[in-house]
Chain A
Amino acid sequence: MPRRARVPAAVLLIAPSLVVMTALFAWPLVVGVGQAFSGPDGATTAYVRRMLDDPYFWPAVRNTALLVVVLVPLQFAFALTMALLLRERPRFHGVHFFVWVLPLAVSDLAAGLVWLSVFADRGYLNSTLDHLGLDGYAWLSYQNTTSMFLTVVVAELWRSTSLVLVIVVAGLQGIPKDYDEAAAVFGASYWQRLRHVVLPQLRPSLQVALILRTILALETFAVAQALTGRNLPLLVGETYEWYNVLQNPNVASAIALVVLAVSMLAAVGYLRLLRDRTVTR
């Protein structure tokens, strides 16, 4: 006698999460698109045009793009180096790992404030230079755009590399030692093993980390706010400005959608670029 199909208990269990996701993700997304493209008189591109005409917009785009392009590769090289150093199991590697991972839990605002104490005109960096008999420098002054940019890069490097580090370390731990040992037996040098055995197997971890970090880098906000205020325009900073100060949620939404679009493009780009070609579809 054929059995009745079982009532899917699974559906009941995931139902609340689906409700939350629809109410708090899908719905606001729709509202956001509405805010950006429709005003009191119906559909309009007025807000988009206002956004594009704003003198701070294109610099914000440029700075954000530059930040991502400079920061992300730097972070990955840094995180990879750190992970490989840990892999050698030096003495005190537990302590080292603990300190390296500390910034993981630090909020971006706090990170900005921490580096503010370093880069402020009368901060610790200039104090150290003074102790060494050198002149200080106005790192955060709006006239020195390059150094402003660099302080944000350094602060973000300090704060967010630990995320990539944890992902890479976890990924490395998942690689069986056998492959590396086999390569060594067959005569591969350290760098050859790194390039041909370790890195390819890290690809899935790196892919995830890249997508996450790029999208997060596009959203750099509080760090810059703490260090440079509005002197270094960034996309999310502009969103905040339009919403909070200029009281214009429509243009704010428009800018937010730009961030979303770029994020999605980046994610798709990474997925294609780092596709696993060894698996047949």
Chain B
Amino acid sequence: MSRRRRWSRAAVQAACVAITLFMGVPLYLITLAALSSRESLNRFPLPLVPTDPSTETMSTFLRSTGVTGGFLNSLTVGLGTVVLALVVGVPAGYAVARYAFRGRDTYQLSLLLIRALPIVVLSVPLARVFLDTGLYDTTYAVMLIHTALALPTTVLITAAIFVGVPREHEEAAMIFGATAPQAFLRVVAPQALPGIAAAAMFAFMLSWNEVLGATVLTLNQRTLPAQVLTTLSDSPLAYRFAGGLALVLPAVVFIAVMRRYLLNMWGTTLR
């Protein structure tokens, strides 16, 4: 390799490392902070390496009022969102992929527009609507708003996935004796499953991370982010750091699992 090439390769690698440090170090720091004893957090300056590891901060956080409840609510809302988003979104995605129905372009356009709609615009009026219908302050309320938020992406992703399963496979199945539902179940669904799983995880993460809607729509049945947000100003630093780690961990797991699908999803939804 020529000298110049070697220099430019080194420069590229250096730049990558710098960016990786920028992205990774804060995550290291929050882990460090959340896994230090309370006493060490009161010291200044803070140690940059784990000198006093302890689960004290985390366990205090987990035992604080509303935290376990928050976890459970987040889990419930997340799973509920996934189920609803898939039940409503997968058939719609199939329709968009397979049928060139009149108004399909308008439908897809409105999905994109909705995805760009600020959630803040919906939260406050929805609170009013839910108050009137008695759904206020329930996990169902949050599930519904999260489903609405996740729906455009779910439909567009599943549509892209179904487009990836050639129509000829269904036709072949039907020539050889399958009814339309049988063709879907035996031939299309197995091929679409990984992608649908990806869409499901995406919906779950969206729900898990969502803060504003969950806060506005609940009082006692708070999800974890809502719980942390509403107690922010009153809570000590240690609590906040522990909360940060608790919220970040699922994200790391999510990305580790979803890495491969990320590019596929974005690549295909843009077409």
Task: Point out residues on A near B: beta carbons under 8 Å.
Answer: 8-11, 13-14, 16-17, 20-21, 24-25, 27-32, 34-35, 81-82, 85-86, 88, 90-93, 95-110, 113-118, 120, 122-124, 126-128, 130-131, 158, 162, 166-167, 169-171, 173-174, 204-205, 208, 211-212, 215, 218-219, 221-222, 225-226, 229, 236, 239-240, 243-244, 249, 252-253, 256-257, 259-260, 263, 267
Query: How far in angstroms is the closest Cβ of chain B from A38?
Result: 12
Residue from B24, B122, B243 within 8 A of A28 (CB atoms):
B122
State whether A102 and B26 are in contact (beta carbons under 8 Å apart), knowing that A130-B45, A240-B212, A240-B216 are contacts in the complex. no
Residue from A11, A24, A102 within 8 A of B122 (CB atoms):
A24
Main secondary structure of the interface of B (DSSP, over half): helix
A215 touches B114 (CB 8 A): no
Residues of A near B232 (CB, < 8 A) are 225-226, 229
B27 touches A114 (CB 8 A): yes
A253 touches B24 (CB 8 A): no
B20 touches A96 (CB 8 A): yes
Size class of B's contact patch?
35 or more
Residue from A90, A115, A124, A212 within 8 A of B12 (CB atoms):
A90
| B259 part of interface (Cβ distance < 8 Å) | yes
Q: How far is the CA of A90 from the CA of B19 in the complex (A)?
A: 13
Q: How far is the CA of A123 from the CA of B99 in the complex (A)?
A: 56
Query: How far in angstroms is the closest Cβ of chain B from A155?
Result: 9
Q: How far is the CA of A20 from the CA of B256 in the complex (A)?
A: 32
The interface bits of chain B over 194-226 (1 if a CB of A lies within 8 angstroms of the residue's CB, else 0) are 000000000001001111100110000000010
A106 touches B125 (CB 8 A): no
- 8 Å CB contacts to A: which residues of B50-101? 87-89, 91-92, 94-96, 98-99, 101
Residues of A near B145 (CB, < 8 A) are 24
| B270 part of interface (Cβ distance < 8 Å) | yes
State whether A14 and B91 are in contact (beta carbons under 8 Å apart), knowing that A108-B209, A221-B212 are contacts in the complex. yes
Residue from B91, B115, B148 within 8 A of A24 (CB atoms):
B148
Residue from B125, B240, B251, B255 within 8 A of A31 (CB atoms):
B125
Residues of B near A257 (CB, < 8 A) are 121
B110 touches A239 (CB 8 A): no
Which of chain A's residues has its CB closest to B258's CB?
A: A105
Which of chain B's residues has its CB closest to A110's CB?
A: B247
Q: How far is the CA of A35 from the CA of B126 in the complex (A)?
A: 11
A109 touches B216 (CB 8 A): no
Q: How far is the CA of A230 from the CA of B17 in the complex (A)?
A: 35
Query: How far in angstroms is the closest Cβ of chain A from B171?
Result: 16
Query: Given A99-B24, A100-B19, A118-B29, 15 more contacts at CB 8 Å?
Result: A9-B99, A11-B101, A14-B92, A16-B88, A21-B148, A90-B9, A101-B262, A105-B205, A105-B254, A109-B247, A122-B46, A124-B29, A124-B33, A169-B263, A244-B230
A116 touches B244 (CB 8 A): yes
Query: How far in angstroms is the closest Cβ of chain A from B249?
Result: 9
Residue from A27, A98, A211, A215 within 8 A of B118 (CB atoms):
A215
Residue from A13, A32, A97 within 8 A of B92 (CB atoms):
A13
B117 touches A16 (CB 8 A): no
Which of chain A's residues has its CB closest to B87's CB?
A: A16
Query: How far in angstroms is the closest Cβ of chain A from B83?
Result: 13
A113 touches B46 (CB 8 A): no
Residues of B near A126 (CB, < 8 A) are 44-45
| B189 part of interface (Cβ distance < 8 Å) | no
Residue from A29, A88, A263 within 8 A of B116 (CB atoms):
A263
Q: How far is the CA of A244 from the CA of B22 in the complex (A)?
A: 35
Q: How far is the CA of A86 from the CA of B205 in the complex (A)?
A: 26
**What are 7 of the A-B contact pairs (CB < 8 Å)?**
A13-B92, A31-B129, A103-B251, A114-B26, A117-B244, A167-B266, A221-B212
B148 touches A35 (CB 8 A): no
Residues of B near A21 (CB, < 8 A) are 110, 114, 148, 151
Q: How far is the CA of A113 from the CA of B30 in the complex (A)?
A: 8
Q: How far is the CA of A222 from the CA of B228 in the complex (A)?
A: 11
Query: How far in angstroms is the closest Cβ of chain B from A214?
Result: 9
State whether A118 and B26 are in contact (beta carbons under 8 Å apart), knowing that A166-B263, A173-B263 are contacts in the complex. yes
B23 touches A29 (CB 8 A): no
The interface bits of chain B over 235-271 (1 if a CB of A lies within 8 angstroms of the residue's CB, else 0) are 0010011011001101110111011001100110010
State whether A25 and B262 are in contact (beta carbons under 8 Å apart), knowing that A174-B267, A205-B270 are contacts in the complex. no
Which of chain A's residues has its CB closest to B95's CB?
A: A13
B114 touches A25 (CB 8 A): yes
| B144 part of interface (Cβ distance < 8 Å) | yes
Q: How far is the CA of A240 from the CA of B215 in the complex (A)?
A: 9
State whether A102 and B255 are in contact (beta carbons under 8 Å apart), knowing that A24-B122, A249-B127 are contacts in the complex. yes
